[in-house]
Structure 1
Amino acid sequence: MIEFKKKRDDGSILDIAPLVDMVFLLLIFFLLTNSYQKHQISVALPATKSGQEVTETKKNYTIEIKADGTILINGRISSMDDIEKIPKTAEVDIAGDKNVSYQTFMDVLDRLKEAGISNVNLLTLKE
C-alpha cells in the first residue's frame, strides 16, 4: 500500500473576511460621494404646463444663464467664447433664469448655432 505524506498545517491560511468588509465599505463610500457630486442648477427656472421630464442620459453640457447675465458651463463661470469650444456632437441643456434678458438668452442660442450644435434642450419647471 502507498502511503502519502500529510501536509503540515502551519496555520498560514489567509482570512479574507476583513478584506471583504473593507472593499464593501469603500464601495459604499464611493457610491455615496459620487451621488452628491451631481451638478445642481442654481437658477430660478420658468414654469410651463407642457414639456417632458428629463431622463438622466448622457447629458454632456449644461449652460446656466443667471439673471445678471453670468454664464456657467457645467457649473464653471464661462464667457460666450467658451460656448464655441463645446463639441458639435454634444447634447446641451440650457437653464435660463426666468428673469434673464431675452437678448442674453438669444446670444447664447446664436453662439450654439454658430458652433454647429443642434441638439439643444431648454430646461423648465413643470407647473
Structure 2
Amino acid sequence: MIEFKKRENEGSILDIAPLVDMVFLLLIFFLLTNSYQKHQVSVALPATKSGQEIRESRKTYTIEIKRNGTLIINGKPATLNDIKKIPTTAEVNVAGDKNISYQTFMKVLDRLQEAGVNNVNLLTIKE
C-alpha cells in the first residue's frame, strides 16, 4: 500500500479580496440609486379625476405647503420671502396639503406671481 503524507493543518485561509470588491460594488450601487431618487412630497395631496403626469426638468422647484402652513422648498424649510429667490425661468410644482386654508394657498401663488414665475403646476393625486 502506498502511504500519502498528510499535510499538517495550516488553518483555513479566507481570501477577503472578493468580499471587499463586493462591498465596494454594493456601496457604489446604493450611493448612485439614492442620488437619482426623485424628491417626493410629504403632504396629503387632494385627489382629482383629471390631470396629467408632469416631467421634471433640471430647473424644477417643489414648494410643499404643510397642514400647519409651513413651507418647504426643495426639501428645505422656507418662508414666503424665499419664494422671491426662485428664478423666473424655473418650473414650480406646488404641493399643498388637502387640509390647508385657501388663504395660505393663495399667499404662495401671489408670491410666485410677484416673483415673475409663470410656469406653475399644482400637484394632486389621481382618484
- TM-score (normalised: structure 2): 0.75
Give structure 1 stretches of 5+ with no counterpart: 1-17
Q: Report how far residue 53 of structure 1 moved.
A: 1.3
Matched, 1:32 2:48: no
CA distance in 2: counterparts of 1:97 and 1:25, whole angstroms: 37
47 and 91 in structure 1: CA distance in 2 versus 1, 3 angstrom threshold: same
Kindly, what percent of the aligned residue pairs are identical?
66
Q: Deviations 1:60-83 (Å, cap 9, x if unpaired)? A: 200000111011101111000000
Aligned positions of 1:1-127 closer than 5 A: 27-36=28-37, 38-58=38-58, 60-127=60-127
Aligned-partner residue type, residue 32 of structure 1 = T
89 and 78 in structure 1: CA distance in 2 versus 1, 3 angstrom threshold: same
What secondary structure does 1:105 align onto? helix
What secondary structure does 1:40 align onto? coil
Partner of 1:11: none
- TM-score (normalised: structure 1): 0.75
Give structure 2 stretches of 5+ with no counterpart: 1-17
Q: Report how far residue 30 of structure 1 moved.
A: 3.2
Q: Report how far residue 28 of structure 1 moved.
A: 2.4
Q: Report how far residue 84 of structure 1 moved.
A: 0.2
Q: Report how far residue 24 of structure 1 moved.
A: 5.8
CA distance in 1: counterparts of 2:55 and 2:63, whole angstroms: 17
What secondary structure does 1:84 align onto? helix
CA distance in 2: counterparts of 1:56 and 1:30, whole angstroms: 21
Aligned-partner residue type, residue 98 of structure 1 = K
4+ residue runs of structure 1 moved beyond 4 angstroms?
21-27
Which moved further from structure 2: 24-33 or 109-118? Answer: 24-33
Q: Report how far residue 27 of structure 1 moved.
A: 4.8
Q: Report how far residue 54 of structure 1 moved.
A: 2.0
